[in-house]
Structure 1
Amino acid sequence: MSQSDNFQSVNSQSAISSSSTEHGVLCDCNRKAKIERAWTRENPGRRFFGCKGRRVRNGYENCNFFRWFDVEKPHGWQHLALLAARDIIREQKEELAVLRNKVIIPNHEGSNMDISNEFVEKFKEKVEECEALKKEVLILGERSAVFRNVLVASSVGFAILLGGMIVMSKY
């Protein structure tokens, strides 16, 4: 089985996997490629294969292998929803970093321990919000794939119906 066969068989599956290496696609340094997610403006949430690298002395070395896992770019309302979710997640990560710093900073006065507990509660809420948004992004990605499949199937059905009507009209 060639690399292109492996790549095509992975794309035909509709399940979303996270950073799995069971797909069998090999990078240029002959290692199993890892599935990553792009969060750029053009490709929010779009998955791709990348070299996971190997340990070399004091660091890692990789071959910069890159190939899209998701063949189509996100588009339409899904694209906009993914961009909005990405921006919210980034804002929440920044806010969490600020809250962590406030909790970590030692309180020299010793009288404001209730405030640090308040920050911990806010932190927990933001983590839960972040997790909920991640789940929503995955659901939107799955819905996008389902809608795309329905559109393709209905287009093929329409073409077959139209072809049948043309053939029938000639007889």
Structure 2
Amino acid sequence: MLKKRKCKCGFEVAVRTSWTNENPGRKFIACKLYNHDTGHRGCQFFEWLDEDPLEWQRDVINTLIAEKHRFATDLSLLRGRVALIEHEKKRLTNEMERMKKKTEKRKGCESSCKHQIVKTDHVGLALVIGGLVMLSVVVSVVVVKVVG
């Protein structure tokens, strides 16, 4: 029925939804040339398809819309943090691999040299492992925040 209706320009009307604070979620028909962003309304044809919401309904809808935007922003921030943590995890893993290779290269040293290198590498390896444990805890917390 609505598709056959035409505005004063001769075009079929367009069914749209208002997301203003005054009329959140209300359906209306308007000239196809209507452009909310520019304010251009074509032939000015406009008609609401539903009733004006009650004040409490308007408040609830606007609150839900605001919460949706807040959650979307929070999710975006958390995704960015997860990406940074993943990058740091990759960097630490590469560092640990580099240290393992360095340790393997030094295994051919004399026993006194070997003793000193093993001590140094154990400290470095302990720092890397500690960093990975901390990273694992941070990733777990972020995942819990995102998922639950």
TM-score under structure 2 normalisation? 0.45
Relative to its length, the structure with more strand (as a share) is 1
TM-score under structure 1 normalisation? 0.40
Relative to its length, the structure with more helix (as a share) is 2
In our comparison, the structure showing a higher alpha carbon Rg is 2
